[in-house]
Amino acid sequence: MATIIKPPESLGANLAKPGLFLEGTIEMGGAEEWQSYVGNKMKSFDIVILNPRKVSWDSS
């Protein structure tokens, strides 16, 4: 099962697994949140998914 990591979480012991970085626009409020969709679709794979979107974003 995939491990999904979002900032500011650490990679920890997950460095030994293959990884997938969900690179692309993360403009909060302006871009579709496609990273969560892709991450959920990939959950059955034994990989680490790096999602750059923070759960809580403070634009100030």
Query: What pTM was estimated for this model as a whole?
Result: 0.78
Q: Length of the chain, please?
A: 60
Q: What is the pLDDT of residue 44?
A: 96
Tens-place pLDDT, residues 8-55: 888 887 778 899 999 887 776 677 888 889 999 999 999 999 998 887
**Residue whose tokens read 């997950």:** 14
If we measure between CA atoms, which residue out of 58, 53, 57, 47 comes closest to residue 6? 53
Beta-carbon contacts of 26 under 8 Å, excluding residues fewer than 6 positions away, are: 35, 52, 53
pLDDT of 3 > 70? The answer is: yes
Report the distance separating Cα 39 and Cα 5, nearest Å.
10
Under DSSP, is residue 37 helix (H, G, I), strand (E, B) or coil?
helix
pLDDT of 58 > 90? The answer is: no
